[in-house]
A = this chain, B = another copy of it.
């Protein structure tokens, strides 16, 4: 029956997007691009793979509709395709954490011991009262590409030297790329070691951005 073939063609078309998520390398690139647009070479070195291979994966993600691409002089800058593309990636990531024990195990292995967290609601409230310092510990370019309003940028590497910048009396909240990113975990550990009271925002910038988009703050 021809209808059967058309139905299969439909599923094949959808699977093109599904394939985008079937490779760990591609997921890593997607995760990086969820923070900020980047060129091919930057992505290659950030993810530790060859340029050619990175380019191929980026093209696959682009063909799957997950990325946009624009030329900027001699560079080609890739960016995540849009809000729904970002949401899809985060949904997959969260679902895998919830349903696959192996993901949880791998996350614990990578992130080390858990540190105390604070959620979006409480952070907003504390920011309103002004009794908390919010620190973005991602690399500076990612901060520049977008960050939580009211945060200050202190990349993890500079944290120790720049400790004096943080007002002593206040609790520090650190955030980074997301729940699977090691920066904020590490930052909180170092702050605690330095005798500061610190917590980690339980999500990261992409999640915050999506939350803002779905419930714009009543200005």
Contact = CB atoms under 8 A, between A and B. Distances in A.
A52 interface: no
B88 A10 contact: no
A144 interface: no
Give the size range of A's interface with the partner: 35 or more
Interface string A84-104: 110110011111101110110
Given A15-B21, A15-B23, A4 B92 contact: no
A112 to B, nearest CB: 9
A36 interface: no
Contact of A24 (B4, B11, B31): B11
**Copies of the chain in the assembly:** 2
Interface in A20-48: 20-25, 27-28, 31, 48
Given A85-B99, A99-B85, A18 B7 contact: no
Contact of A81 (B9, B94, B99, B182): B99
Contact of A99 (B17, B18, B48, B110): B17
A27 B20 CA distance: 14
B27 A22 contact: no
A-B pairs with lowest CB-CB distance, top 9: A18-B21, A65-B99, A22-B22, A11-B24, A6-B110, A17-B96, A10-B106, A13-B103, A19-B22
Given A13-B102, A17-B96, 11 more contacts: A4-B48, A7-B182, A9-B106, A14-B93, A14-B100, A14-B103, A15-B23, A17-B99, A19-B21, A65-B96, A65-B99
